[in-house]
Structure 1
Amino acid sequence: MRSFELNFHKRHKEKALNKYLPFILQKAEEITEQERPIKIYMNDWENWLSVDLHHPSTFDTLAIDSELKQTVIDDLARFVKRKDYYKRIGKAWKRGYLLYGPPGTGKSSLVAAMANYLKFDVYDLDLSSLNSNEILKTFLMGMSNRSILLIEDIDCMIKLNRRDSKDYCNGRDKITLSGLLNFVDGLWSSGGDERIIVLTTNYKERLDPALTRPGRMDMHIHMGYCEGLLKEVKVTPAEVAEMLMKSEDGDEVLKGLVEFLKDKKKGAKESQKEGEGKKGAKESQKEEGEEKRAEESQKEVKGRAG
């Protein structure tokens, strides 16, 4: 272990103690935080269990729209720098993100990229394993500062009882929407600093508006298919995987995949037109044949009449 000795004249005492040393301690803390392994926690009965998070996803490798990517990065960077702002306006230092879209569009990868960018631990909360608001509160208060609370597939994770539901007060053994909202945006939300809350869903329209309004879910991020092409083009997972392995540059790979899908779509349209042309030609030939047969029948009838 190495150590350093700092000497300074007594006339610089105030400057050294009040400015220089706090600056050194802050930098040391930042370096330690950057080198600290990121952890992912999961709830088990009444305790959080953790392992190191080694997910490789970063904003450099994440294959999403470049403009959307930059918007998310800017929003995160602004959030972590606004401690004094949140204190001044009297709000808990937290930020909510709703990620929605079809399965397999990179919602979990975006959360990992956020964690790697911020150096925040991830708390992956399984609501279906909890049976009361009190247990939920215990887990949420057990989170550390500078962390991400992740609740995936919240629309099907558990049936949250709405506050106006007749089942809302039928016992204490249920997690209610109000119980979750008390942590997201109520008094309990002030129990920690610098926290990110991320909800994911495949069906945004199924969520209660009380959960998704601004101030709770501050930013709604749609995770869709690559320009909608994967919905329109018949392509196998193997073909997509092959395109994704052609380069280590995320943007280059995404561009190549999009061009590949566009070519597939163009080829499908040309094949469809060609098929329609052949079908039209056959129908035309069939009509001509029927006309000829009709004419021959008329001639035959006239001949017999004469």
Structure 2
Amino acid sequence: MDAGDHTAREYFHHSSAKRVNTDLVLLEALRTQYPHLDVIVAPLARCNLLMYAAAGFATAEPIEASHGHHAYDPPVKWVAYVPPQRRLDSQPGAFSERVLFGKYMYKWKDVEFLMYFVNGRDGTAAYPDVTQHYILTTEPQKAYQLIKEASLWTEELHDEVWVFDGGFWDKSRELYESVQKSHWSNVILDEDMKKALIADVEYFFDSRDTYTDLKVPWKRGIIYYGPPGNGKTISIKAMMNMLYKRGKEDNKQSVPTLYVRSLSSWGGPERALSDIFKKARAEAPCYLVFEDLDSIVNDNVRSYFLNEVDGLRANDGILMVGSTNHLDRLDPGIAKRPSRFDRKYYFPDPDWEQRRQYAVFWQGKLKGNKAIEFPDELCPKIANRTDGFSFAYMQEAFVAALLVIAGRRNDGDGEGGDKAQMEDGGDDDLEKLVLWRELKKQIDLLREELGKRRSNDGNIIGFNL
């Protein structure tokens, strides 16, 4: 009588009792069941062979019982329904499977392997979750080559950004998608400053040989500072987007971004900084981002940070960028010493021309809205009235005004759009525009708030841009 898969039976027996070392149990079972095959064990943590196959580089066909069903037949898996991440998402959720024990015929480059995929631990973090691939083959050297290529693929970014948070590095598709919407053409800055920002970063990554010839370390630090809401974050994202395309659209070496959200870690901030710079050195050349640098690198972690920046380990190929709304809160040893952060770029409140450009930006966004009239003559008027505003305050004025207009249109009170046509572009005609009338109200309200915040704090507290 057929008793099912021998190795699966041993896995079931082992899993139903105390477990010490799943590898030893399964290796014994596999060598007994397949005495003519070599067994190679590849941990999932660095080599995800099923994902590698799903990406199209190999095939992995599940092997299930061809006749009859036995208690010990593979696979063993969990099935769960994962709802949409946000209630606002229009897409339905999806079913997700987690294989705990599976048997596959794995084909790669015309070579076939028999592979078991096994979760060897139960419990939570205190009892580690170890999942292994058990590859059976008569050609072990080709299995080693498969493991090498799949491991390299597993470590690479695939439309993702490395993010450090909670003490661990993880790949973020969400941040990547946000970055793809950020382009230098949408960043309103002084043109000379924008060119300098781009040239500074491009020159660094293109100049390894120059640094070597000059016998100076190939590393650099940049600080973006200034009142909130004036383009620091979008400039970082536009730079990330530009660097991501590097290597895809030309022959230059690609530059990944490593984004640090916090130093919160199970091992404390000193362990976090060690892990951050260890990863940066491994990924170099790379763009290492510390947003809100003054809140991340405080007095408690200053010495650990400086040790990583100035210590004995080489930081070749690492370009650090930190942003802060409060340069004065940074330790002078970080903010004022060139060998740590070599250049500082100030992001001031926008001047008249930049405010006019921002109004033009909104004019383009509203171009398809037939209910809102937004003539060219309105852009300089908005720039005149928003003197001293950050881009974030200007954005809030537009958003608040448009919400009021939309609310009135939904209520049917006749004030929800512009029906009057411009005649000669004079001020009297502009006053007929619902958008301009509501914008002026919102700008006046924000200016009152701005005055209060300046008088209370001595600084502008803006909205996030």
TM-score in same-fold range (> 0.5): yes
- Find the counterpart in structure 2 of residue 146 from structure 1: 285
| Equivalent of 2:331 in 205, 208, 227 | 208
The alignment covers a number of residue pairs equal to: 205
Structure 1 segment 192-207 matched on structure 2, within 5 A: 193-207=316-330
Aligned 8 A contact 1:95 1:195 in 2: yes
Residue 226 (str. 1) matches residue 354 (str. 2): no
Letter in 2 for 1:153: D
The CA RMSD measured in Å over matched residues stands at 3.4
Structure 1 segment 28-43 matched on structure 2, within 5 A: 39-43=160-164
Query: Judging changes above 3 Å, is the alpha-carbon distance between structure 1 residues 245 and 224 closer, same or farther for their aligned structure 2 residues?
Result: farther
> What's the offset of the Cα at 1:246?
5.5
Structure having the larger proportion of residues in helix: 1
Residue 88 (str. 1) matches residue 213 (str. 2): yes
Q: Deviations over 1:20-67 (max 9, x none)?
A: xxxxxxxxxxxxxxxx85532222444310123122212222111111
Query: Alignment partner of 2:224: what SS?
Result: strand
Query: Alignment partner of 1:226: what SS?
Result: coil
Query: Judging changes above 3 Å, is the alpha-carbon distance between structure 1 residues 107 and 128 closer, same or farther for their aligned structure 2 residues?
Result: same
Query: Alignment partner of 2:241: what SS?
Result: helix
> What's the offset of the Cα at 1:91?
3.1
- Structure 2 distance, partners of 1:258, 1:87, is 50
Aligned 8 A contact 1:39 1:122 in 2: no
Query: Judging changes above 3 Å, is the alpha-carbon distance between structure 1 residues 160 and 263 closer, same or farther for their aligned structure 2 residues?
Result: same
Query: Judging changes above 3 Å, is the alpha-carbon distance between structure 1 residues 74 and 261 closer, same or farther for their aligned structure 2 residues?
Result: same
- Structure 2 distance, partners of 1:225, 1:204, is 15
- Find the counterpart in structure 2 of residue 217 from structure 1: 341
- Structure 2 distance, partners of 1:156, 1:47, is 19
> What's the offset of the Cα at 1:263?
3.2
Letter in 2 for 1:220: K
> What's the offset of the Cα at 1:204?
0.6
- Structure 2 distance, partners of 1:128, 1:179, is 11
- Find the counterpart in structure 1 of residue 462 from structure 2: none
Query: Alignment partner of 1:159: what SS?
Result: coil
- Where structure 1 has 5 or more consecutive residues not aligned to the other structure, the ranges are 2-35, 162-175, 232-236, 248-254, 268-306
| Equivalent of 1:134 in 264, 271, 282 | 271
- Find the counterpart in structure 1 of residue 113 from structure 2: none
Letter in 2 for 1:136: L
- Structure 2 distance, partners of 1:138, 1:221, is 28
Query: Judging changes above 3 Å, is the alpha-carbon distance between structure 1 residues 181 and 39 closer, same or farther for their aligned structure 2 residues?
Result: farther
- Where structure 2 has 5 or more consecutive residues not aligned to the other structure, the ranges are 1-55, 57-156, 245-254, 368-375, 388-426, 428-465
- Structure 2 distance, partners of 1:69, 1:256, is 27
> What's the offset of the Cα at 1:71?
1.1
Q: Deviations over 1:119-174 (max 9, x none)?
A: 2322221334132423321232023113211111122235323xxxxxxxxxxxxx
> What's the offset of the Cα at 1:208?
1.2
Structure 1 segment 24-63 matched on structure 2, within 5 A: 39-52=160-173, 53-54=176-177, 55=179, 56-63=181-188
Of 43-52 and 255-264, deviating more is 255-264
Q: TM-score, normalised by structure 1?
A: 0.57
Letter in 2 for 1:62: V
> What's the offset of the Cα at 1:72?
1.3
Structure having the larger proportion of residues in strand: 2
Letter in 1 for 2:318: R
Letter in 2 for 1:121: P
